[in-house]
Amino acid sequence: MATKLSPEDSIALIKANLAEVLNPEIIDNVILKEKRPLKVYWGTATTGRPHCGYFVPMMKIAELLAAGCHVKILLADIHGYLDNMKAPIDLVEFRAKYYERVIKAVLKAVGVDLSRLEFVLGSSYQLNKDYTMDRFKLEGITRVNVAQKAGAEVVKQTDDPTLGGLIYPLMQALDEQYLDVDAQFGGVDQRKIFTFAMENLPKIGYGVRAHLMNSMVPGLGAAVKMSASDPDSKIDVLDGPAVVEKKLKKAVCNPREVEGNGVIAFVEHVIFRAIALNVDRESFTVQRREQEPLVYTSIAKLKEDYAADILTPQLLKAALVHHLNELLKPIIEEYEASPEWQAISLQAYPPEKVAPKVKKVKDKGDPTLRAAAAAARKAGVLAKPDGHVEGPGAKKVTVGPSTEETLEKLKVSE
């Protein structure tokens, strides 16, 4: 299906809402001179369960599809394993399938055409002879410190890094060539990998690409990106309305503070952009008790009202709960109607097995000896391991050579 936008409008939408674009002339040349759809790829390592932070790159992918681009989504199963082995190798196949289901459902929820969307599994080509040879070529010209620097903001850093983590950015650079794209899309945390690709792909005979970079959106817990490893910062795409409300109530949203506010950032980068893509959603509405609702068609006005405390944290959170649940509703409905998706979910993220608690039976010792000790205590006698006795009643007691004799002799008068 061809886009209804003019070439100029397509270019504007491709470049919209981004923190930075490297080599933008490549985009202009493809659309204006070659007169064909721009081919873009976005990669995601198939590790933890996708959360609502994924709505941020999904909004850009939705805009790219609306602009007429051919979008390839790399389900980077091997990358997920290489990044400090975040994804167990026996689960990556199922996690890739789970990611594909979630991504399609999210994009359908914002109402974009998926006919130009393609999914590619990393292992489908990254194990091939030619790719491996090119990887060797890059490894042969890349210093360890350069590889570490390239992946510094993406690959988990340790004092003693594995080779897999060092190879990660090299493979991401090569993916541009083997996926046959004009541009790569990612967050600004990917910038060092993008510049590594621009500097090194020509050294092994390949061209440079354009790079589209999203801003990093603060999470709901603090001024950091939403993270699967931080439960307070993470809302799963399959969380129900009550869970969404509970988690958003805990979100950091200081009055009058706009900068670093994760709630405002999510409204700006997800809700407003979803509204712009979907004609059924015209505005961001904030309901108020016994007052007219606040209706926003621009994020600038929302930020202005928040800074002035006209829009309070409580009102903003309640409005976001409503709008986010509206986005999540069709995704949850699709999941609940699909036994296949539910089965994939269990295979990809099996419940953790909790070892049963074994009740320790306390060894109370020989009951006969316990009785003797009790009788001794009653008589004011303390028997020592070497056989002698102490205490006020020691003179009255002689510990015999047998348990029976001992018990008999411990029957002293009060």
Ordered by where they begin, the domains of the chain are 7-214 (3.40.50.620), 241-348 (1.10.240.10)
pLDDT at 1: 47
For residue 283, give the 3-state DSSP assignment. coil
| 227: nearest Cα among 218, 237, 214, 215 | 218
Partners of 213 in beta bridges: 20, 186
The residues, any chain, with a CB within 8 Å of residue 78's CB and separated by 6 or more, are 92, 122, 123, 126, 127, 171
pLDDT at 219: 76
Q: How far apart are CA 209 and CA 322, in angstroms?
A: 40
Look-up of token digits 């490297």:
22
Rounded to whole angstroms, what are the CA distances from 268 to 49, 154, 215, 217, 264?
23, 24, 11, 10, 6
pLDDT at 222: 44
Q: Which tokens is 217 given?
A: 């959106």
R_g of the chain computed on alpha carbons: 32
Q: How far apart are CA 154 and CA 149, in angstroms?
A: 10
Predicted model pTM: 0.79
Looking at per-residue pLDDT, the higher value among 259 and 402 belongs to 259
Check pLDDT > 70 for residue 279. no
* Structure letter (DSSP) for residue 355: P
The residues, any chain, with a CB within 8 Å of residue 237's CB and separated by 6 or more, are 50, 51, 52, 54, 102, 105, 106, 328, 331
Phi (first) and psi of residue 184, to 5 degrees = -120, 140
pLDDT at 413: 47
What is the separation, in whole angstroms, between the first and last Cα of the chain? 104
Is residue 222 within 8 Å of 252, Cβ to Cβ?
yes
Q: What is the pLDDT of residues 154-205, one digit of tens each?
A: 776 677 777 877 888 999 999 999 999 999 999 999 999 999 999 999 999 9
| 284: nearest Cα among 309, 258, 306, 257 | 306
Average pLDDT over residues 195-223: 88
